[in-house]
């Protein structure tokens, strides 16, 4: 099988779809890996690393796509990359089609593409093993990002997350006690902040309370969200509804009641965002002010931790890549329920129920 590893083209995206170790294993199995020049630079992998592993270096994204039966990416293709897709290919990436432009889905169907969406790959127990790796990183990044945005020279309120003796710590509200939320709680508590963790699932709150006895846990409904938002120095949106656009749980009028120069980190922005005033930003221009509140809404937060994020991602995706390379996409999907749940489109057909409903609408 020909496997393409193109350079990522989303702004400030430094991850790469496959490490040299993965290329070496695939090459040893008789597969041909076409790696676009510079694809691994952000993760610390040179073209020479890939060449030594048996990869063939190609010098354009169009060639990396054009030769491949299987394309292994990180972020969903840009508009230019969609034009490089070849009919019948399999493309693995974080597609996030529920919040993407309709052009993405239309192209996949027209070109009979099998799209494996990493965020949809789901185990029998409901766990999302690939998404979990990036959620862990994004959650742990959030405390450092918030700490910087609270500084006066960054437009913030001039608050130290952990406070000092005689001065209380920052009040941090986290909406969602899943992977992002619990990893964020861990990071904020580690810096000494006062943490409020909200979720609709009482079982998750019980687990969170046992894991983080210092945190205050609350049921997430409109009254409580408004109550905690009013005093929050930092509000973290960590809502995830698999296979759907994130629900808006913080409306504009609630944002307007927050303290001036407070900080919102909407980590659900890759699924559309859970704060009504949120809109996607980039690492180059990560923030804006709405309702006198600083908003940070970067969809690819782990993208600037190219080395760590690439290794974490490959730990989870490698078995899926290997299975598709060994059996071909259709047989691999039939063999693995884990993989099958991650398929958004299969040879031109929508297989994700939610996407099918939206397409019909």
pLDDT tens readout for residues 37-93:
999 999 999 999 999 999 999 999 999 999 899 999 999 999 999 999 999 999 999
Arithmetic mean of pLDDT, 171-189: 97
Judged against a pLDDT cut of 60, whether residue 358 lies above it is answered with no
Rounded mean pLDDT, 320-325: 97
Whether 216 maps to a domain, the answer reads yes
Where is average pLDDT lowest: 91-105, 177-191, 305-319, 330-344? 91-105
Active-site residue among 69, 233, 266, 270? 270
Nearest one of 224, 120, 123 to 174, comparing CA atoms: 224
If asked whether residues 297 and 148 sit together in one domain, one would say yes
Rg (CA), the chain: 21
Per DSSP, 89 falls in state -
Domain with 110, as residue range(s), is 2-121+305-360
Mean pLDDT value across the chain: 94
Same domain, 149 and 296: yes
| Rounded CA separation 235/251 (Å) | 13
Paired tokens of 165: 């003796």
Structural domains in the chain (count):
2
d(CA 110, CA 90): 14
Is 274 found in the same domain as 221?
yes
Q: What integer pLDDT is reported at residue 166 of this predicted model?
A: 97
Known catalytic residue at 49 = no
- In this structure, the number of other CB atoms found within 10 A of the CB of residue 46 comes to 12
Instruction: Specify whether 158 is located in the same domain as 260.
Output: yes
Q: What is the reported pLDDT for 205? A: 97
DSSP 8-state code for residue 233 = S
CATH number at 38 reads: 3.40.50.720
What are the beta bridge partners of residue 69?
none
> pLDDT (tens digit, 9 = 90+) per residue, 107-142?
999 999 999 999 999 999 999 999 999 999 999 999
Place of tokens 């993965």: 22
Q: Is 50 helix (H, G, I), strand (E, B) or coil?
A: helix
pLDDT at 280: 95
Catalytic residue among 14, 31, 96, 295: 96
Q: Name the maximum alpha-carbon separation found in the chain.
A: 65
Burial 183-222 (b: 16+ CB within 10 A, else e): bbbbbbbebebbbbbbbeeeebbeebeeebeebebbebee
In whole angstroms, how far apart are CA 185 and each of 3, 171, 181, 214, 217?
Answer: 39, 12, 6, 10, 11
Active site residue 270: yes
The Cα–Cα gap between 118 and 29 comes to: 24
């Amino acid at each position: 099988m020909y496997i393409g590893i193109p350079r990522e083209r989303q702004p400030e995206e430094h991850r790469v779809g496959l490490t040299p170790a993965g290329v070496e294993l695939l090459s040893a199995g008789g597969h041909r890996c076409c790696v676009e020049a510079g694809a691994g630079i952000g993760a610390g992998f040179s073209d020479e690393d890939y060449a030594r592993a048996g990869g063939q270096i190609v010098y354009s994204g169009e060639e990396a796509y054009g030769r491949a039966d299987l394309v292994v990416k990180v972020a969903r293709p840009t508009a230019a990359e969609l034009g490089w897709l070849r009919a019948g290919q399999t493309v693995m990436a974080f597609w996030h089609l529920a919040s993407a432009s309709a052009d993405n889905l239309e192209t996949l169907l027209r070109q009979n593409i099998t799209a494996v969406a990493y965020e949809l790959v789901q185990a029998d127990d409901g766990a999302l093993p690939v998404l979990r790796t990036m959620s862990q990183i994004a959650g742990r990044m959030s405390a450092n990002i918030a700490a910087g945005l609270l500084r006066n020279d960054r437009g913030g309120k001039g608050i130290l997350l952990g406070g000092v003796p005689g001065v209380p710590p920052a009040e941090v509200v986290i909406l969602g006690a899943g992977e992002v939320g619990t990893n964020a709680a861990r990071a904020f508590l580690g810096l000494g902040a006062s943490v409020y963790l909200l979720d609709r699932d009482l079982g998750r709150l019980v687990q969170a309370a046992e894991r983080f006895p210092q945190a205050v846990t609350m049921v997430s409904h409109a009254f409580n969200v408004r109550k905690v938002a009013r005093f929050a120095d930092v509000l973290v949106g960590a809502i995830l509804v698999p296979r759907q656009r994130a629900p808006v749980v913080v409306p504009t009028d609630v944002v307007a009641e927050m303290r001036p120069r407070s900080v919102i980190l909407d980590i659900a922005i890759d699924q559309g965002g859970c704060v009504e005033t949120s809109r996607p930003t980039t690492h180059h221009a990560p923030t804006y002010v709405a309702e006198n509140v600083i908003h940070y809404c970067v969809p690819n937060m782990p993208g600037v931790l190219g080395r760590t994020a690439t290794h974490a991602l490959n730990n989870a995706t490698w078995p899926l890549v290997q299975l598709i390379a060994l059996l071909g996409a259709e047989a691999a999907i039939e063999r693995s329920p884990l993989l099958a749940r991650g398929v958004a489109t299969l040879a031109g057909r929508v297989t994700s129920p939610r996407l099918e409903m939206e397409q019909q609408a």
